[in-house]
Amino acid sequence: MLMDVVEIQEILPHRYPFLLVDRVNTLDKGENIVAFKNVSISEPVFQGHFPGHPIYPGVMILEGLAQAGGLLAFQSMELSKEEVKEKVVYFMSIDKAKFRKPVRPGDRLEYRVSVIKRKGSIWMLDGKAYVDDQLVSEAELKAMVVDK
């Protein structure tokens, strides 16, 4: 393990119920990150999506990929803890999003995000989400690190 949820919260501003990364296993600065989220039936989203047939929403998978991408960007920029507190990642676009297989309670979502290119504070990322090494979702993400 590279980062646990306490360390993640020192970088990302998200909190329950919207913090969607539980742990980071691998991070190669400027290149890629492997992180995961444990999907639990106790999450509030399952109250309405869908009663009696719980499916983790695709938009939440994309947000998890985006949060993992934010961790990758912040760690790659080698900012101090004080500098991180003064910045935020804004997502500019999500392209080529695809959902391949439903994600259900009990699944462990693995986010694999890699840098396509970086120009200054703008990052283009390739995100893929897996459950048991099966691709469940993918998208290209574009983000910008800005001052709060």
- Total residue count of the chain as it appears in this document: 148
Please tell me whether residue 83 adopts helix, strand or coil conformation: helix
Is 53 designated active site? Answer: no
Omega into 74 within 30° of 0, i.e. cis? no
Label residues 63-99 b or e (16+ Cβ within 10 Å = b). bbbbbbbbbbbbbbbebeeeebeebebebeebeebeb
Set 14, 23, 49, 142: catalytic member: 49
Measured distance CA(79)–CA(122) in Å, rounded: 16
Question: Looking at 39-107, which runs of residues are DSSP E strands?
Answer: 87-99
Main-chain phi, psi angles of 146, to 5 degrees: -130, 165
Q: Cα separation of 118 and 98, whole Å? A: 23
Active site positions, annotated: 49
